[in-house]
Chains A and B, each alone.
Chain A
Amino acid sequence: MTATTPNASMSMAQALNAALRDALREDERVLVFGEDVGPLGGVFRVTDGLTKEFGEERCFDTPLAEAGIVGLAVGLAMGGFRPVIEMQFDAFAYPAFEQIASHVAKLRNRTRGRLSLPIVIRIPYAGGIGGVEHHCDSSEAYYAHTPGLKVVTPATADDAYWLLRDAIADPDPVIFMEPKRLYWSKEETSTADRRAAGFGRAAVRREGRDATLVAYGPSVPVALQAAEAAAQDGLSLEVVDLRTIVPFDDETVVASVRRTGRCVVIQEAQGFAGVGAEIAARVQERCFHSLAAPVLRVTGFDIPYPPPILEHSHLPDVDRVLDAVDRLQFDDEPDLLHLTREAS
């Protein structure tokens, strides 16, 4: 079966659509369902055309009840199917949290491995699109904190395709978090089959020697722009894209920070008790003797997600990242002293 692998002209939303289409084609156990995913094709059009091509038995609209969607997926997965379900928005997934935390995450463990739940829960998440309240939450930490869930978030169209294929093929439940503001971004994508190559492995998006920026999902483009801007000032920043928050790729992150000696962790979510805090702690525990400066975090503020008119004040941007880079105590290193002085 020839897969509709992504090509250069695809947006992330189109790449996700292609991944769902190919998975439905290749495995008859795959089912796609959720709110408005049928004839409408989902509010972000990620499921566009799937009901038409595969019929209502394979891609269908459910009643409007998120715990029901997830619970239904649990029963179907126990019965041998591979549900790929959509939560319409990040904050609208909360009614399903009990189903996710108490059942999806735990069934393998409760039954000593006798049952497994190959379920993918797709969640459009995070902000930057001018969405009104309850449409822009960064909810990844809730899931990453729950043992038994894999948590994936692509930053490129190419990764979106392959990580979703991997997630659907995975024997365990995967929370697949799609950065809304990247749905329409188009990137260079490859057609080479690299299934499983990125699952659990971070990607070095840009090589550098002076500091490491660790980012995931919507923050990866911000990190890359910051690295580009810093390069103008003669500073060479490495950018690591986590791809999967769980499993976490300690190896790639640690190798990078040991080489550069400095680290800034970037997340769009509010900072307190977030994924970035975990990353900062892990880096500090593993790279202490290589670090020339404290590991810093660049995050959103600890506030409920702001109204659209104010979201630019909340979201970490290139300047906030560069300010953090400035605080990495380059002043203490004679060889870089002139660079930072020139920059300021």
Chain B
Amino acid sequence: MSVRRSPRTVEGLLPSPEPVRFVAEDGTAVEPPAGYAEPTGEHLMEAYRRMVLGRRFDRQATALTKQGRLAVYPSSRGQEACQIAGVLALREDDWLFPTYRDSVALVSRGLDPVEVLTLLRGGWHCGYDPAATRVAPQCTPLATQTIHAVGMADALRRKGEDGVVMAFIGDGGTSEGDFHEALNYAAVLRAPVVFLVQNNKYAISVPLAKQSAAPALAYKGIGYGIPSEQVDGNDLVAVLSVLDAAVAHARTGGGPFLVEAHTYRMDPHTNADDPTRYRESQEVEQWESADPLARLETYLRGRGLLGAEDVAAAHKAAEEYAARLRDAMNADPEADPFELFDHVFAEPTPQLNEQRALLASELTARED
């Protein structure tokens, strides 16, 4: 099912000239490029349920910012095909290195949504256990996590594990130096890592045309000797197929793989952003018609895999999930001010102990 791509020839490195696509915007099947296999119906149904849930989670999180329950939320509405396919392509023992916009992927991987939102509600910087979940802390500096992913992939190889690491990054992030160092290191070390660029067309307000003059961001792989592919990022079937192939390539000793998924950020950068200052509403409306969830639903109905009951069940589960999240987020997060000193070092320095005592006296004085 994997496409064997040789990093030793230019042809083996180049992405297909057009993004790989299995399903057209109207939900009808199109002929994909040779070598890519369609995921099983079971896999696609699982993806559908997760997309419904992911979108509901995303909407709920945006609503929580309006209620003051979340300090900030960078929505990934419109990018669910990338978020869900990225997670579905990985095994439980694989690692994921996400950015701040990838909360939907994290909850789809089964992480507790309250723990995922801990960063964004201001409770602590990372609410979940990266070692237990094999998900690195969501990264807010741009592209720095991509080189960590390479290091982790090299660690897995050294330990004789056949795990794969996937690093998420956005279009803006591919301009950062760390992304290029990560690609180069990954190729030189032949690390089992897959880079998924979610090209959502905007880095906050800066459009892709001002970000890069490359014919596609996927071409950034070739200079480093990394086979690359571009895919319609709103076509779940295509993203999953391409990522399955990329992960298989990395897992079987082929080294790194770069995938660019063409998608669109439907919502503002965060709830604090005003996109009317930099993009036309007409453009957003056009992308509504390319919606990844509607497209998958139409496709699965057309193939007779998805019935009205399945749709209703998926939405019911998503509503229940959102209700539980809403309730859980109603309570203020608990915070112990003395924890501020607990994780600077394994053992606090004498100076940190003095500062802890100072804070204790301040808190006591405030109580009096």
Given contacts A67-B181, A110-B126, contact A78 B151 (CB under 8 A): yes
Asked whether B188 is an interface residue with its Cβ less than 8 Å from the other chain, the reply is yes
Asked whether A57 is an interface residue with its Cβ less than 8 Å from the other chain, the reply is yes
Tell me, in angstroms, the Cα distance from A171 to B149 when the chains sit together.
21
Given B137, B155, B345, which contacts A79 in the complex, CB threshold below 8 Å?
B155
Tell me, in angstroms, the Cα distance from A197 to B119 when the chains sit together.
39
Tell me, in angstroms, the Cα distance from A250 to B126 when the chains sit together.
33
Asked whether B28 is an interface residue with its Cβ less than 8 Å from the other chain, the reply is no
**Chain B residues within an 8 Å CB radius of A247:** 349-351
| Residues B147 and A78 in contact, CB atoms below 8 Å apart | no
Asked whether A219 is an interface residue with its Cβ less than 8 Å from the other chain, the reply is no
**Chain B residues within an 8 Å CB radius of A71:** 144, 146-148, 150-151, 178, 181-182, 185
Tell me, in angstroms, the Cα distance from A74 to B137 when the chains sit together.
13
| Residues B144 and A65 in contact, CB atoms below 8 Å apart | no
Asked whether B130 is an interface residue with its Cβ less than 8 Å from the other chain, the reply is yes
> Shortest Cβ distance from B163 into chain A, in angstroms?
10
> Shortest Cβ distance from B127 into chain A, in angstroms?
9
**Chain A residues within an 8 Å CB radius of B309:** none
Given contacts A78-B148, A111-B130, A248-B351, contact A67 B177 (CB under 8 A): yes
**Chain A residues within an 8 Å CB radius of B177:** 67, 95
| Residues B155 and A81 in contact, CB atoms below 8 Å apart | yes
> Shortest Cβ distance from A118 into chain B, in angstroms?
9
| Residues B351 and A72 in contact, CB atoms below 8 Å apart | no
Tell me, in angstroms, the Cα distance from A102 to B141 when the chains sit together.
8
Asked whether B131 is an interface residue with its Cβ less than 8 Å from the other chain, the reply is yes
Binds A, one of B53-61, B202-210, B336-344: B336-344
| Residues A148 and B345 in contact, CB atoms below 8 Å apart | yes
> Shortest Cβ distance from A243 into chain B, in angstroms?
14
> Shortest Cβ distance from A9 into chain B, in angstroms?
36
Asked whether B156 is an interface residue with its Cβ less than 8 Å from the other chain, the reply is yes
| Residues A63 and B185 in contact, CB atoms below 8 Å apart | yes
| Residues A148 and B137 in contact, CB atoms below 8 Å apart | no
| Residues A80 and B137 in contact, CB atoms below 8 Å apart | no
Interface code A44-67, partner B: CB below 8 Å = 1, 0 otherwise?
000000000000010000110101
> Shortest Cβ distance from A60 into chain B, in angstroms?
9
| Residues A108 and B155 in contact, CB atoms below 8 Å apart | no
| Residues A57 and B345 in contact, CB atoms below 8 Å apart | no
**Chain B residues within an 8 Å CB radius of A74:** 147-148, 151
Interface code A156-196, partner B: CB below 8 Å = 1, 0 otherwise?
00000000000000011000000000000000000000000
Asked whether A322 is an interface residue with its Cβ less than 8 Å from the other chain, the reply is no
Tell me, in angstroms, the Cα distance from A107 to B145 when the chains sit together.
12
B residues 148-188 with Cβ under 8 Å of A? Answer: 148-156, 158-159, 177-178, 181-182, 184-185, 188
> Shortest Cβ distance from B171 into chain A, in angstroms?
20
Asked whether A98 is an interface residue with its Cβ less than 8 Å from the other chain, the reply is yes
Asked whether B124 is an interface residue with its Cβ less than 8 Å from the other chain, the reply is yes
Most buried by A among B125, B184, B339, B349: B349
Interface code A71-115, partner B: CB below 8 Å = 1, 0 otherwise?
111111111110000000000000100110011001111111111
Tell me, in angstroms, the Cα distance from A177 to B32 when the chains sit together.
56
Given B129, B136, B144, B184, which contacts A63 in the complex, CB threshold below 8 Å?
B184
| Residues B185 and A108 in contact, CB atoms below 8 Å apart | no
Given contacts A75-B150, A81-B158, contact A171 B346 (CB under 8 A): yes
**Chain B residues within an 8 Å CB radius of A107:** 137
Given contacts A80-B159, A172-B345, contact A99 B144 (CB under 8 A): yes
Given A75, A79, A108, which contacts B343 in the complex, CB threshold below 8 Å?
A108
Tell me, in angstroms, the Cα distance from A63 to B132 when the chains sit together.
32
| Residues A112 and B124 in contact, CB atoms below 8 Å apart | yes
| Residues B151 and A79 in contact, CB atoms below 8 Å apart | yes
> Shortest Cβ distance from A306 into chain B, in angstroms?
30
Tell me, in angstroms, the Cα distance from A57 to B160 when the chains sit together.
13
Asked whether A246 is an interface residue with its Cβ less than 8 Å from the other chain, the reply is yes
Tell me, in angstroms, the Cα distance from A38 to B349 when the chains sit together.
36
> Shortest Cβ distance from A287 into chain B, in angstroms?
16
> Shortest Cβ distance from B98 into chain A, in angstroms?
14
Chain B: which residue is nearest A28 at the CB level?
B158
| Residues A68 and B184 in contact, CB atoms below 8 Å apart | yes
Chain A: which residue is nearest B149 at the CB level?
A75
Asked whether A122 is an interface residue with its Cβ less than 8 Å from the other chain, the reply is no
Most buried by A among B141, B151, B339: B151
Chain B: which residue is nearest A171 at the CB level?
B346
| Residues A108 and B345 in contact, CB atoms below 8 Å apart | yes
Tell me, in angstroms, the Cα distance from A34 to B153 when the chains sit together.
18
| Residues A75 and B351 in contact, CB atoms below 8 Å apart | no
Tell me, in angstroms, the Cα distance from A106 to B144 when the chains sit together.
13
Asked whether A116 is an interface residue with its Cβ less than 8 Å from the other chain, the reply is yes
Given contacts A79-B152, A103-B144, A114-B130, contact A72 B185 (CB under 8 A): yes
Most buried by B among A63, A78, A200: A78
Tell me, in angstroms, the Cα distance from A48 to B151 when the chains sit together.
24
Tell me, in angstroms, the Cα distance from A200 to B350 when the chains sit together.
10
> Shortest Cβ distance from B148 into chain A, in angstroms?
4
**Chain B residues within an 8 Å CB radius of A79:** 151-152, 154-156, 158-159
Chain A: which residue is nearest B340 at the CB level?
A109
**Chain B residues within an 8 Å CB radius of A78:** 130, 136, 148, 151-152, 155
B residues 213-255 with Cβ under 8 Å of A? Answer: none
Most buried by B among A73, A75, A148: A75
> Shortest Cβ distance from B57 into chain A, in angstroms?
23
| Residues A76 and B344 in contact, CB atoms below 8 Å apart | no
**Chain B residues within an 8 Å CB radius of A99:** 144, 147, 178
**Chain B residues within an 8 Å CB radius of A76:** 151-152, 154-155
| Residues A103 and B148 in contact, CB atoms below 8 Å apart | yes
Asked whether A150 is an interface residue with its Cβ less than 8 Å from the other chain, the reply is yes
**Chain B residues within an 8 Å CB radius of A65:** 181, 184-185
**Chain B residues within an 8 Å CB radius of A95:** 177
> Shortest Cβ distance from B115 into chain A, in angstroms?
11
Chain A: which residue is nearest B348 at the CB level?
A247
B residues 330-365 with Cβ under 8 Å of A? Answer: 339, 342-346, 349-351
**11 additional contacts (CB under 8 A) given A71-B182, A114-B130:** A57-B158, A62-B185, A63-B181, A67-B144, A71-B146, A102-B141, A112-B124, A112-B126, A115-B131, A172-B346, A247-B349
Q: Closest 3 A-B residue pairs measured CB to CB?
A: A75-B151, A79-B155, A71-B147
> What would be 13 A-B contacts, judged by CB atoms less than 8 Å apart?
A65-B185, A67-B181, A68-B178, A71-B148, A71-B181, A71-B182, A74-B151, A75-B149, A78-B151, A109-B343, A112-B124, A114-B132, A116-B346
